[in-house]
């Protein structure tokens, strides 16, 4: 899957969630731990933009620098678990 705005394949799966009983909507990355989810930690602010001309609605997520570093580690198709382990062993040996 690719980003419809820029064409990048570095997409983060997650859920839209209600942060304040109908007041604000947030984004929660799918890989967030259960404990952080229970305490409402780790959700990201969503900003929406509406186009006057075509009436298209766009949503953007405000990721922090830590998120960007974490999720851009692998651009494109994610390597399998064994490939990641082998890559880590090669880096340690090198």
Distance, CA of 85 to CA of 79 (rounded, Å)? 10
Q: Would residue 30 count as lying in a domain?
A: yes
* Dist. CA 44–CA 16, nearest whole Å: 10
49-74: pLDDT as tens digits = 777 778 777 788 888 888 888 777 65
Q: Element (H or E) spanning 38, and its range?
A: helix 34-38
pLDDT digits (tens, 9 = 90+) for 16-32: 887 777 777 788 888 87
The verdict on residue 81 lying in a domain is: yes
4 pLDDT above the threshold of 80? no
Any domain includes 70:
yes
Q: Which domain holds residue 22?
A: 14-93
Whether 3 is in a domain gets the answer: no
Is 20 inside a domain boundary?
yes
**Considering only CA atoms, which of 31, 28, 21, 20 is closest in space to residue 61?**
28
CA separation for the pair 60, 57 (Å, rounded): 10
Q: Is residue 37 part of a domain?
A: yes
**What number of residues does the chain have?**
94
3-state secondary structure of 71: helix
Number of folded domains in the chain?
1
């Amino acid at each position: 899957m690719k980003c419809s705005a820029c064409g990048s394949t570095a997409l983060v799966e997650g859920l839209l969630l209600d942060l304040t009983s109908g007041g604000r909507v947030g984004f929660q990355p799918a890989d967030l731990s259960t404990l952080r989810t229970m305490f409402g930690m780790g959700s990201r602010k969503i900003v929406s933009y509406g186009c006057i001309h075509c009436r298209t609605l766009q949503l953007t997520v405000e990721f922090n620098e830590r998120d960007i570093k974490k999720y851009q580690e692998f651009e494109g198709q994610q390597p399998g678990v064994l490939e990641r382990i082998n890559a880590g062993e090669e880096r340690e040996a090198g």
